[in-house]
Amino acid sequence: MDFDHSIFLKNIAQTTGQPFMLEVAYAKGIYLYSPDGREYIDMISGIAVSNLGHRHPKVIEAIRNQLDRHLHVMVYGEFIQSSPNLLAKKLTSLLPENLNCAYFTNSGTEANEGALKLAKRYTCRSEIISFRGAYHGSTHGSLSVSGNEVKKYAYRPLLPDVRFLTFNNTAQLDQITARTACVIIEPVQGDAGVRIPDKEYLIALRKRCDQVGALLIFDEIQTGIGRTGKLYAFEHFGVTPDILTSAKALGGGLPIGAFISSYEIMQSLTHDPMLGHITTFGGNPVSCASALAILEVIEQEQLLLQVEDRGELIEKLLDHPKIIEIRRIGLMFAIEFATEEEVYHIVQKCLERGVVCFWFLSCPTSFRIAPPINISVEEIKKACNIIKSAFDEL
């Protein structure tokens, strides 16, 4: 298959001057294949999406079964369909008692938009608190609560009444007050370069939100579905949010997001006004079937149990004097070097040698690794040998 790169560059809207330009013909397991049959180890899972690798057979089977039943039949929330029903039942059964009601969206950013609206509606307050370094998505609301000013300034005015605190700084928690509708936080900041807070900090944050009646939203769009060794990262910290947002790996390669809260809180979307959040495609039956299969496979194959060991192995195998720091939780890595140029060199060299690594949005001196959580020890050794050869050339 001969592909015309000019179509990609001219007829598909570009968002960067230097796209990655890897041409993919098909994908299976942890591998991507180019049209000439060249194999690439996917060490980023399409940015924390293909957490069980590409085209897991049970996911494909679930998608096929749903294709034979029906595709879209109605906008969100009107018709009863077994695929979103079964997904909601399974997902909420894996979560704490208060997270028992899911609203399925199309994407991560829409899940956050829904969560922010829900918090404002439920509390009848307007202030939203977020954190420096946060990334919550690219639509207006999510962008308003994201920290990176470089990505925001051209789109102002954004949402008013948003205040930013320093991540993991307990002294600032008193800025959350009885005016605050909600605090939105990634329990581990992803695109800031894998920033892991102290457990005590998240406990204190939960306590402060309870004191002033603000809802706590955990954005687990990147950290969810086993990436950190738990189904959701909040389980590491023993802190439960009022609203959880999920997307990316939830759909196993198909687009889906969710904001999940209590039945009581969610009820506020039904009145004043009714239809408090509307979507045509949210809860798409094929995406829901795929998501259900993902949750079942993780459970049946007990995949969460091996995440920490695999993470440790990668960390050990990549150890190198040029590394400044490795920040890791489970199989979510930021590998920090002295300069942006070094990071650029490493990611390019890895690609040339058949391993896909990638950058962070807001941390140019680190590169990311987030392989499928079912990666084998042999595959890890193979990938780490290649990555290390790029370190050796610095």
222 binds ligand PMP (CB under 6 A): yes
109 binds ligand PMP (CB under 6 A): yes
Neighbouring CB atoms inside 10 A of 22's CB total 12
Whole-number minimum distance, CB 113 to ligand PMP, in Å? 9
Among 135, 359, 367, 391, the residue binding ligand PMP under the rule CB under 6 A is: 135
CB 327 within 8 Å of CB 361: no
Among 137, 147, 224, 229, the residue binding ligand PMP under the rule CB under 6 A is: 137
Q: Which residues have a Cβ under 8 Å from the Cβ of 213 and sit 6 or more positions away?
A: 123, 178
Q: Which residue is nearest to ligand PMP (CB)?
A: 108
Among 45, 50, 107, 228, the residue binding ligand PMP under the rule CB under 6 A is: 107
| Residue with Cβ nearer ligand PMP (257 or 285) | 257
| Residue with Cβ nearer ligand PMP (328 or 349) | 328
Measured CA distances, 174 to 180, 181, 209, 382 (Å) = 11, 14, 10, 49
Whole-number minimum distance, CB 236 to ligand PMP, in Å? 16
| Residue with Cβ nearer ligand PMP (81 or 112) | 112
Whole-number minimum distance, CB 285 to ligand PMP, in Å? 19
Q: Which residues have a Cβ under 8 Å from the Cβ of 175 and sit 6 or more positions away?
A: 129, 163, 165
Whether the bond between 285 and the residue before it is cis, its omega within 30 degrees of 0, is no
186 binds ligand PMP (CB under 6 A): yes
Whole-number minimum distance, CB 211 to ligand PMP, in Å? 26
Residue type, 262: S
Measured CA distances, 344 to 18, 25, 41, 332 (Å) = 12, 25, 18, 19
190 binds ligand PMP (CB under 6 A): yes
Structure tokens at 77: 């929330």
HEC sequence for 12-27:
CCCCCCCCCCCCCCEE
| Residue with Cβ nearer ligand PMP (81 or 107) | 107
| Residue with Cβ nearer ligand PMP (120 or 248) | 248
| Residue with Cβ nearer ligand PMP (131 or 391) | 131
| Residue with Cβ nearer ligand PMP (42 or 342) | 42
- Of the candidate spans 215-223, 236-244, 286-294, 370-378, the one that interacts with ligand PMP by CB under 6 A turns out to be 215-223
360 binds ligand PMP (CB under 6 A): no
CB 176 within 8 Å of CB 214: yes
| Residue with Cβ nearer ligand PMP (103 or 391) | 103
- Of the candidate spans 85-93, 158-166, 183-191, 344-352, the one that interacts with ligand PMP by CB under 6 A turns out to be 183-191
Among 29, 46, 84, 108, the residue binding ligand PMP under the rule CB under 6 A is: 108
Measured CA distances, 270 to 106, 276, 278, 327, 351 (Å) = 20, 6, 11, 42, 49
Q: What are phi and psi of 267, to 5 degrees?
A: -60, -25
241 binds ligand PMP (CB under 6 A): no
Which residue, among 167, 165, 132, 127, has the nearest Cα to 149 in the 3D structure?
132
247 binds ligand PMP (CB under 6 A): yes
Q: How far apart are the C-alpha atoms of 192 and 133, rounded to whole Å?
A: 5
Contacting residues toward ligand PMP, per CB under 6 A: 107-109, 112, 135-137, 186, 190-191, 219, 221-222, 247
